[in-house]
Amino acid sequence: MAVVIIGGGQGGFQTAASLRAEGYQERITLIGDEPGVPYQRPPLSKGFLLGKQEQRHAELRPAAFYEMQRITLVKGRVAAIDRASRRVALDSGDHIQYDTLVLATGARNRQLSHEGVAYENVLYLRTLGEAAEIRQRLEAANDVVVIGGGFIGLEVAAAARTLSKQVTVIEAQERLMARVVAPVVSEYFRIEHEAKGVDVLLNATLRGIGEKEVLLGERTRRPADLVIAGIGVVPNVELAIEAGLPAGNGITVDKYLRTPDERIYAIGDCAECPSLFAETCVRLESVQNAVDQATCVAKAIVGHSAPYAAVPWFWTDQYDIHLQMAGLPAGFDHVVTRGNPETRKFSVFYFRGERLCAVDSVNRPADHLAARKLIGARTALNPDQAMDEDFDLKTALN
């Protein structure tokens, strides 16, 4: 028996670690294409850029952990999966046999397609190497333009502004983080960034990038010694497709995270699976999802298979603002706010019909913890109770 894991990110690491925790004694091989040991990505757009954290702080475990746990780390890129003979081929020409294969191939940055994107001052942030380069460039930069008003873009903008850089955020949509939060949360973050001195441009059309400037609309320009693009990611599904496995917006898996090949699982950013909380198939990009799916697969491999049913949750830190999200708001038709945004502590409750489907909490961790339990238990909570600060959310669980 042998398990091979393709992908040395959070999901791949957690699968290997969870297998050992579950008592799995056979060979585990973890294949990654980045140097060093597996690391966590969230600090890269926050403390690492600010110089508050170094590479060692991002490492999930030191090198000795893998030796002690008998987890073989292989550095290289997988070129192909041979399902018939159950082995993977590396670009080095080597082959590794598997009994069970876990695809944790993650995602890659979506690339800009505008004129000027080849300039050396245009960067992306996903890997440790990319974060290190941005941190170095920030030291000499004065005018920083961030393309994309999602989590990564706004976290980078917050870090750059904290370092006293002149920062412009360019967002094509009419509000920030429009894909994942309600208008009241978008507006709160716009106000906070602008109060810090960030120039936030909404409904902005990027025309091109010059050597020291960004071109917008017909005549608008913004100075830019450094341009950082955070316009989303693309799931790495090519290996699966070439191996004959189905994929759409991610590698297609069932509620047990298995592909149609019962010996192959897929987890994390690259996988699209049925969700109890969206009532459809979704692909989620979060540490929680990668960790919980890896734990679920590890249990299945050792014979304790169960449907994946973890409540999704996410977070972002920008300046001193801690936004925590629970559930999935897709398809919501009603929103209520608990608390006052002017106090910098409030929560937004999303309802789909009469059911609570998601909660965003700004600097209110108790609301977030309660929300995860309420959503997981599919507890009846009505909008009036949600917005009433005198109503104890925990009582709805009884």
- CATH number for the domain harbouring residue 351: 3.30.390.30
Q: Which amino acid makes up residue 388?
A: D
* Predicted confidence (pLDDT) at residue 356 exceeds the cutoff of 80: yes
Read off the DSSP letter of residue 347.
E
For residue 284, CA distances in Å to 31, 78, 111, 192, 271 come to 22, 23, 20, 27, 8
Tokens 């999901």 found at: 11
Q: Are residues 75 and 139 in the same domain?
A: no
Other Cβ atoms closer than 10 A to 310: 18
Q: Does any domain span residue 308?
A: no
Q: Are residues 221 and 116 in the same domain?
A: yes
118 compared with 21, residue with greater pLDDT: 21
* CA of residue 326 relative to chain centroid, distance: 14
Q: What is the pLDDT of residue 115?
A: 77
Residue (of 321, 331, 336) closest to 371 by Cα position: 336
Q: Mean of the pLDDT values across residues 251-263? A: 98
Q: Are residues 20 and 129 in the same domain?
A: no
**Domain termination site, one of 177, 211, 229:** 229
Q: Is the dihedral of CA 202, 332, 155, 39 positive or negative?
A: negative
211 compared with 327, residue with greater pLDDT: 327
Residue (of 286, 178, 289, 271) closest to 231 by Cα position: 178
Q: What is the pLDDT of residue 389?
A: 93
Q: Are residues 251 and 187 in the same domain?
A: no
What is the DSSP track for 289-315?
HHHHHHHHHHHHHTT------PPPEEE
218 compared with 84, residue with greater pLDDT: 84
Q: What is the pLDDT of residue 354?
A: 85
Mean of pLDDT over the chain: 95
Q: Are residues 8 and 149 in the same domain?
A: no
Helices and strands, counts by H and E, the chain: 10, 27
Q: Which amino acid makes up residue 326?
A: A
**Helix/strand/coil (H/E/C) assignment for every residue in 311-341:** CCEEEEEECCEEEEEEECCCCCCEEEEEEEH
Residue (of 362, 367, 364) closest to 394 by Cα position: 367
Q: Does any domain span residue 339?
A: yes
Q: Does any domain span residue 385?
A: yes
Q: Are residues 104 and 239 in the same domain?
A: yes
The rounded distance, in Å, linking the Cα atoms of 30 and 19 is 12
Q: What is the pLDDT of residue 74?
A: 98
* Predicted confidence (pLDDT) at residue 278 exceeds the cutoff of 90: no
> How do residues 34-65 score in pLDDT, each as one tens digit?
999 999 999 999 999 999 999 889 999 999 99
The rounded distance, in Å, linking the Cα atoms of 4 and 270 is 16
Q: What are the E-state strand segments in 148-301?
A: 166-170, 199-201, 206-209, 213-216, 220-223, 226-229, 233-235, 247-248, 250-252, 264-266, 271-275, 280-282
Residue (of 11, 231, 260) closest to 124 by Cα position: 231
- Using a pLDDT cut of 70, give the percent of the chain over it: 100
Residue (of 397, 237, 386, 378) closest to 309 by Cα position: 378
Q: Are residues 103 and 116 in the same domain?
A: no
Q: Do residues 146 and 228 lie in contact, with contact meaning Cβ atoms separated by under 8 Å?
A: yes
Q: Are residues 213 and 115 in the same domain?
A: yes
Q: Are residues 225 and 240 in the same domain?
A: no
Domain with 268, as residue range(s), is 2-108+234-301
Q: What is the pLDDT of residue 394?
A: 86
Q: Are residues 94 and 242 in the same domain?
A: yes
Counting the structural domains of the chain, the total is 3
